[in-house]
Amino acid sequence: MQLTASATGRTERTAPRDADGMAVASFVLGLLGLLVLNIFLGPIAITLAAVALWRGTKRRGRAVLGLGLGVADLVVLVTLMQMDNTVSWSF
């Protein structure tokens, strides 16, 4: 958290902008990972969401969705690997 001075002279605590960006990136990568490259994008989405939540993002909902989508990416991968007996899958 960073301290910023507002126009009224009050000091407010704000989350760093990079934490908000990480929350959005985790959501987008988790969503994209459901379609392609879920073996890479799933863990990246999980990591970005965890770091964003740890840093106190203002976009907590997107970070939680990114975390859930990252986990879903890995679940989809494992399910399709069990069905096809391969490490990759296609439509």
Of the two residues 85 and 45, the one the predictor is more confident about is: 45
Instruction: Check residue 7 and give its pLDDT.
Output: 59
Instruction: Tell me which amino acid residue 16 is.
Output: P
Report residue 10's pLDDT band, with 50, 70 and 90 as the boundaries: low
Report residue 9's pLDDT band, with 50, 70 and 90 as the boundaries: low
Report residue 82's pLDDT band, with 50, 70 and 90 as the boundaries: confident
| Farthest CA pair distance, the chain | 63
Strand partners, 13: 3
Predicted confidence (pLDDT) at residue 71 exceeds the cutoff of 90: yes
What is the value of pTM for the model shown? 0.76
